[in-house]
Chains A and B, each alone.
Chain A
Amino acid sequence: MHLALFIIFGALCVAGALNLLFQRHPINSALSLIVVMSSLAVLYLLLGAEFLAAAQVIVYSGAIMVLFTFVIMLLNAGAEERTHGSKMAYIAGIPGAAILVALLTFVFLSNRGSFAQARIGDYLVTTRDLSQVLFRDLLLPFEVTSVLILIAILGAVALARKEH
Chain B
Amino acid sequence: MIPIAWYLVLSGILFSIGVAAFLIKRNIITVFMSIELMLNAVNLTFIAFTRHWSQVTGHLQVSGQIFVFFVMVVAAAEAAVGLAIIIAVFRARNTLNVDQVDLMKL
A→B interface (CB under 8 Å): 2-3, 6, 10, 13-14, 17-18, 20-21, 26, 29-30, 33, 36-37, 40, 43-44, 47-49, 51-52, 55-56, 59-60, 63-64, 67-68, 71-72, 74-75, 77, 80-86, 89-90, 92-94, 96-98, 100-101, 104-105, 108-109, 111-112, 115-119, 122-123, 125, 129-130, 133-134, 138, 141, 145, 148-149, 151-153, 155-160, 162
Contacts and interface: CB of A to CB of B under 8 A. Distances in A.
Nearest to B18: A17
Interface of B: 1-10, 12-21, 23-27, 29-30, 32-34, 36-37, 40, 43-44, 47-48, 50-52, 54-56, 60, 62-63, 65-66, 68-70, 72-81, 83-88, 90-91, 96-99
B29 A108 contact: no
B40 A37 contact: yes
B30 A26 contact: yes
